[in-house]
């Protein structure tokens, strides 16, 4: 049933994250990586929508990409989980399918 949605584009440059969030079905997991990690920042123009996604499902961020961009967990929306590359792989295998929002 469950789908892993991955987003690797900045939410301020493309609507990939917005569109992804509009298509979530129960049991979802969302993983933000590469420039997609900016979607995990607090207090942004899209933060409320991400917070809603955190309330009714699982949202992850790839820690390596988050750190590379000078972000830290103090700036991250509460309830988002940090995973590493191995965790990314685990999520992909544990879900029934992966949808990559480009």
Partner 1 sequence: MSEIKKFMYVNRKAPYGTVYALESLEVVLIGAAFDQDVSLAFLDDGVFQIMKGQDTQGVGMKNFSPTYSALGDYDVTKLYVERESLEERGLTLDDLLPLKYEDEDDDWAEKDSIKLVSREELAGLMEDQDVLLNF
Considering only 45, 86, 93, 102, the residue that binds partner 1 (CB under 8 A) is 45
Closer of 30 and 32 to partner 1 (Cβ): 32
Q: Which segments of the chain are extended strands (E)?
A: 3-7, 29-32, 58-62, 81-83, 97-101
Q: Which of 49, 91, 92, 19 is nearest to 41 (CA)?
A: 49
Q: How far is CA 99 from the centre of its chain?
A: 12
Closer of 23 and 69 to partner 1 (Cβ): 69
Q: Is 81 in the site for partner 1 (CB under 8 A)?
A: no
Q: Contact residues for partner 1 (CB under 8 A)?
A: 8-10, 12-13, 34-35, 38, 41-45, 47, 63-65, 67-72, 75, 84
């Amino acid at each position: 049933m469950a789908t892993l949605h991955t987003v690797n584009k900045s939410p301020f440059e493309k609507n990939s994250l917005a569109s992804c969030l509009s298509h979530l079905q129960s049991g979802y997991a969302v993983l933000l990586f590469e420039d997609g990690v900016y979607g995990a920042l607090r207090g942004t123009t899209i933060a409320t929508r991400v917070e809603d996604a955190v309330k009714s499902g699982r949202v992850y961020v790839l820690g390596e990409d988050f750190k590379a961009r000078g972000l830290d967990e103090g700036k991250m929306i509460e309830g988002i989980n940090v995973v590493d590359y191995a965790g990314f792989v685990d999520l992909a295998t544990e879900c029934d399918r992966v949808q990559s929002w480009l």
